[in-house]
Amino acid sequence: MKSIKNIIFDYGNVIFHIDFNKVAQAWKDLGITNAHEFYGHRQQDGVFDALEKGEISTEAFADRIRKLTGKPELSNEQINHAWNQIFIGIPKGNHELLLQLKDKYRTFLLSNINAIHYDYVHDYLKREYDMNDNSGLFEKTYYSHRLVNVSLTPKSLNKY
């Protein structure tokens, strides 16, 4: 049997604990009563996938959320805060384990993440571990929203 040389990690429920119900509650806390129509763990509006693929900006995402909710008064900050409620945190021991594994294996991060969550995660790493990014944990990182760079015209955004 060949030995393991490389390990590829994901963020969601591998490194970071996440909770989809917390996002649903955050939408409710903003007075959004129809979140079940556009957001769920198994099915959601295409705007969430477009954001993860880097096909739309965070501003276009917020505009779509305002449209879906019928709440034009929601700020980008309120929307981002609610969307970031998915993160519970890194469980005790995960960070230390990643540091140990990096010494023995080639470690990589491959995550279907979006620009809003990316910023949140990096702020969290700075607050909790005094790290500016993941370079101390992984040889290379791959984030879905940064792998695709598509220029969309306002007309093409209408489908979101």
Q: Which token pair is 69?
A: 């909710």
pTM for this predicted structure: 0.85
**Contact in structure between 132 and 124 (CB atoms under 8 Å):** no
Q: What is the pLDDT of residue 146?
A: 86
In terms of Cβ atoms closer than 10 Å to its own Cβ (0-12, 13-18, 19+), residue 150 is: exposed
Task: Tell me the CATH architecture of domain 6-16+88-147.
Answer: 3-Layer(aba) Sandwich (3.40)
Higher-pLDDT residue of 149, 73? 73
Domain ranges of the chain: 6-16+88-147, 20-86
**Contact in structure between 44 and 68 (CB atoms under 8 Å):** no
Q: Which positions are catalytic?
A: 10
Orientation angle between helical segments 115-129 and 76-84, nearest 10 degrees: 70
DSSP state of 108: E
Residue 160 clears pLDDT 50, i.e. is over it? no
What is the CATH class of 20-86?
mainly alpha
Q: In sequence order, what DSSP letters do the residues of 41-85 get, joined into one string?
A: SS---HHHHHHHTT-S-HHHHHHHHHHHHT-TT--HHHHHHHHHT
Q: What is the pLDDT of residues 69-106, one digit of tens each?
A: 999 999 999 999 999 999 999 999 999 999 999 999 99
Q: What is the pLDDT of residues 13-71, one digit of tens each?
A: 999 999 999 999 999 999 999 999 999 877 889 999 999 999 999 999 999 999 999 99
- Max alpha carbon distance in the chain (Å)? 60
Strands 6-9 and 106-111: parallel
